[in-house]
Structure 1
Amino acid sequence: MKRISILACALGLAWSQLCAQTSTTEVLFETTKGNIRIALYDETPQHRDNFLKLTKMGTYDSLLFHRVIKDFMIQTGDIFSKHAKPGQLLGTGDYDYTQEAEFRLPKIFHRRGVVAAAREGDAKNPERRSGASQIYIVWGKTYDDRRLDYTQHKLDSITGGQVKLTPEMREVYKTIGGSPHLDGQYTVFGEIVEGLDVVEAIQKEATDKNDRPLEDIRILKATVTKDLPAPPTAKPAASRKASVRSKASRRR
């Protein structure tokens, strides 16, 4: 996979926007910088289920945050990073499948603290399908109206006018921050519910010319701490027949 080219709110509008998502599942990253807890959105079930599957497989255990850009994001999930040598170029390690995009604008967008899936660029990936394992956590920056207007102009050009920053989204970007230029192009599928201070610390780390931290920052262990409920177990055929016969006997 190619590298992506890419708190609490006191205001009523921003608060309603932030609380719009629903989550029944959570994953905990225990990292060398502290714990990060991620709630996964039920509105993006394909990405949610894939992330849970990979976590249970142990995919993220011992992986590095291999790409860190101050005031933008931190990225992990390169499966080649587990045993990477110092200074090794990373960013291409992933499984050999992709996921259909699950854009949920204007409800879910690139505000500070969300988790999204990395992917190959539009030239090779016009459907903007997500990669399998590489993810990034948004830090971003706050925007004023002038910069948001400019971002909207760029989004109109890139997406053919299909992505619009609503007044509620603009308010969040002005007060909380994020990366609005990624909206409608990368799938956001979760958010940080614990450890945003850890994300802030990581995005400030010194990096080399390829945006890899000079000091390795590693996910020691990734654990599903809140899972989907198991599907109900069907009754054995014999039990169902016995139940039918019992009801029939009562009717007679």
Structure 2
Amino acid sequence: MIVQFIHLLVLFAITTFSAVIPKQSFLTPEELTHLEGDPEVTHKVTFTISQEQPNKEPPIVLGDITIGLFGSVVPKTVENFYQLSSHKHDYGYLNSPFHRIIKDFMMQGGDFARGTGTGGFSIYDESTFPDENFELKHDKLGRVSMANAGKDTNGSQFFILNKDSTPHLDGKHVVFGQVIGGIDVVLAIAEVKTTRSSRPLEKIYISGIKTEIRETEDESKKEALKLAEDAKEQQQTEDEAAALEKSKEEVEEKQHKEEQEENKAAEEALSESAEEAKHLTEDDNNIVGKTAYEGDSSSFLSEYKYLLIFSVRNLPYNTSTESLYEFFGKYGNINQIRIPDPRANSSSSSSAQQGTCFIIYNNTTNAIRAAHDLNGVNFNGRYLVTSLYHVDRSKIANEELTLRQEHLNELKKMYEISD
């Protein structure tokens, strides 16, 4: 009840503060002509568009496209687009192409990762985020909207309409902006020659970016928005936070106990752990396991029924085995590191194979610490995603796990389990 009351007070403060900000105060008269019937513009992004030329001639500049963003209607979507334009995370739209251009429909871009329409990601955990709302419609030339692969799959890709109306997109794609300058550039791009798959024959890309936030926007409004969001999240996750705190205390108590035992007999196998590390299972892999064991490598790999596997994803694809031993070895002695072989499963894409490794530590405490400390850490420009699995050897042998097949094969190789 208290959280709800605070939430209402904060929302009231936001509404009151917004009322005294001059609407459209940082827009030119020309830009305002493109915003009839639209909500206030909170951010502006200007893309300089260039086109590569044949025979290695220098690229030509086609012009600027200025986009007004509606942060008061879809703040999360606008923040994603604005930060990708500002390169606040060392990645974003600069030099990314418009990979799909269809006359009398739209031009699509935003795939800064691959440039083909198959890549890119949002600023939110470098993943996708849900559709915010569909209040704004695709009812105007120059509308800017999120491209997606279905419901709630927004990443970084977006498109700009080069026709007056596309109502069939309403309710499926989130509109978050409007072209307020450079409509002539949008229409000129619509006329370029393309392949049958709508890819321009000569690359058209974003060669420069300028960003602006409405000058009258005050830090107190940002803080109020943050408080409102925090209050909402607190209300929704109180039980989860309590469970996490309890789990953290259990792990710390377990680690302290094991460290004391290791000091007495560093080379002796430790007894079975008394606590279940339920929080160490990965939700999307449905792995069942209760207890891990510690000791020398031969005991750990051959005597015990349950095995602890430390999984690392999102590694740079060119990472060497030596650098992995050096980096992860800071947390303790490593028995072995297994890097999936891209040739192990021909039906899998190389991106699913690369960037992943399995690590076995001689000591479970070290594995737990490494997984806890390294999740989200920047390793050579990539943010690591770590997981711990308690795996039953018999389940690996009987192929009862729901791991991806290439990962299951790697676990079999690691523990020398034959079919």
One-letter code aligned to 1:187: V
Residue 167 of structure 2 is aligned to residue 180 of structure 1: yes
Asked whether the 8 Å contact 2:47–2:209 carries over to 1, the reply is: yes
The answer as to whether partners of 1:31 and 1:218 remain within 8 angstroms in 2 is yes
Alignment match, 2:67: 38
Contact kept, 8 Å, 1:110 with 1:180, in 2: the verdict is yes
TM-score by length of 2: 0.38
Q: Does 1:101 align with 2:131?
A: yes
Q: Which of structures 1 and 2 has the bigger CA Rg?
A: 2
- Deviation by residue 1:131-158 (Cα, 9 ceiling, x = unmatched): 2210100123xxxxxxxxxxxxxxxxxx
Partner of 2:187: 200
Say what the alpha-carbon RMSD is for the aligned residues.
Answer: 2.5
**Is contact 2:130–2:154 with CA below 8 Å preserved after alignment?**
no
Aligned partner of 1:92: which letter? T
Q: How far apart are the structure 2 equivalents of 1:17 and 1:30?
A: 21
1:216, CA displacement in angstroms? 1.0
Question: How much does 1:104 deviate?
Answer: 3.6
SS in 2 for 1:219: strand
User: Aligned to 2:112, which of 76, 79, 96?
Assistant: 79
Separation in structure 2 between the aligned mates of residue 79 and residue 215 of structure 1, nearest angstrom: 17
Residue 125 of structure 2 is aligned to residue 92 of structure 1 = no
2:157 pairs with 123, 134, 141, which one?
134
Structure 1 position 111 matched with structure 2 position 111 = no
**Match for 1:25 among 43, 51, 66?**
43
Change (3 A) 1:226 1:17: closer
Residue in 1 aligned with 2:260?
Answer: none
- 2:205 & 2:34 partners in 1: Cα distance? 34
Q: Which residue of 1 aligns with 2:219?
A: 231
Matched residue, 1:9: none
1:139·1:179 contact (CA, 8 Å) conserved in 2? Answer: no
Count of matched residue pairs: 170
Q: What is the aligned counterpart of 2:81 among 40, 46, 51?
A: 51
Q: For 1:218 and 1:17, how far apart are their aligned partners in 2?
A: 26
What one-letter code is carried by the residue in structure 1 that aligns with 2:196? Answer: K
Supply the AA of the counterpart residue of 1:54.
L
Tell me, in whole angstroms, the C-alpha distance in 2 between the residues paired with 1:209 and 1:16: 32
How far 1:16 sits from its partner (Å)? 11
Distance in structure 2 (CA, Å) of the matches to 1:220 and 1:66: 14
Please show how residues 157-172 of structure 1 align to structure 2 within 5 Å.
none
The 8 Å contact of residues 78 and 94 in structure 1, kept in 2 or not, is answered as yes
Q: In structure 2, the residue corresponding to 1:23 is in which secondary structure?
A: coil
Gap regions ≥5 residues in structure 2: 1-32, 51-61, 224-419
8 Å CA contact retained: 1:21, 1:108: no
Identity of aligned residues (%): 33
Q: Deviations over 1:8-32 (max 9, x none)?
A: xxxxxxx999423211210010111
Determine helix, strand or coil for the equivalent of 1:22: coil
By relative contact order (CA 8 Å, sep 6+), the higher-ranking structure is 1
- Alpha-carbon distance in 1 for matches of 2:130, 2:35: 24
**SS of equivalent residue, structure 1 residue 218:** strand
Displacement of 1:103? 2.9
User: Contact 2:35–2:180 (CA<8 Å) still a contact in 1?
Assistant: no
- Kindly tell me: are residues 130 and 35 of structure 1, through their superposed partners in 2, closer, same or farther at Cα, counting changes over 3 Å? farther
Code of the aligned partner of 2:47:
F
Superposition deviation, residue 35 in structure 1? 0.1
How far off is 1:68 after superposition?
0.3
More off after superposition, 72-81 vs 38-47: 72-81
